[in-house]
A = this chain, B = another copy of it.
Amino acid sequence: MHPARQQETSHEETSAERDTSRLEAFSDGVFAIAITLLVLEVKVPHFDNASTSSALTGALLRQWPSYLALITSFFTVLIMWVHHHIVFRLVRCADVKLLFVNGLLLFFISVVPFPTAVVAEYLGTSAAPAACMLYAGFFLCISICFQLLRMAAFRPAVMIPSASDATLRRLRGSYWIGPPVYILATVIAPFYPFAAICICSVMWIFWAAMTREC
């Protein structure tokens, strides 16, 4: 192959890559900030009785819904970032459709601290059903956005030419599992709020197991 021509090809590839690199960097930023803002919902406990070590320990332990919500949200968003990364590695450039769907996904990701805070506040109260339904409903929206992102990304117009059919088939198959499970969690939340949170927690372990890199 002629070096000059190869240079050109390489230059075009770089230029195409640059198109999504800033989009990926911006998305990474939103994911990283949303995941780190979650900690702001865990409040330093304040209590009326004397500030002794046992009072503080008790107050810290009573905040378990905050920790459960934080851990579930953190690892779900983290796994979603990993899958966002997997999808975008197959994307050559971003058109309006992909930009719009990605924006919708980022919106729901950035808002995750809100339902997390609601669950942290109300999981231990009799308002738990509504709080958990909001929480599961949010993750349902995110999984639908992911489905849309996959559909927008795996079109010949934006995909890299070297994407193997096997990879695409595997990714297509696995993403269909998300929405039905989150629908189930949302539907059972009014009756078994804690079970709904558990389903959301288990999902990220499932997504993590599906990740294959290197």
In the complex, residue of chain B having the shortest beta-carbon distance to the beta carbon of A57: B130
Chain A residues within 8 Å of chain B by Cβ, number: 79
Pairs A–B under 8 Å by Cβ, sample size 16: A3-B3, A19-B214, A28-B29, A29-B33, A33-B36, A33-B37, A35-B110, A39-B110, A39-B114, A51-B127, A52-B126, A75-B107, A95-B214, A96-B213, A157-B214, A158-B214
Cα(A36)–Cα(B110), bound, Å: 5
Determine the distance from Cα of A176 to Cα of B38 in the docked complex, in whole angstroms. 31
User: From A23, which residue of chain B is reached at the shortest CB distance?
Assistant: B85
Kindly state the separation between the CA atoms of A93 and B28 in the bound complex, as whole angstroms: 18
Of residues 13 through 63 on chain A, the ones whose CB sits less than 8 Å from some CB of chain B are 19, 22-26, 28-40, 42, 44, 50-57, 60
Partner of A78, one of B56, B78, B106: B106
Q: How far apart sit A106 and B33, CA to CA, in the bound complex (Å)? A: 12
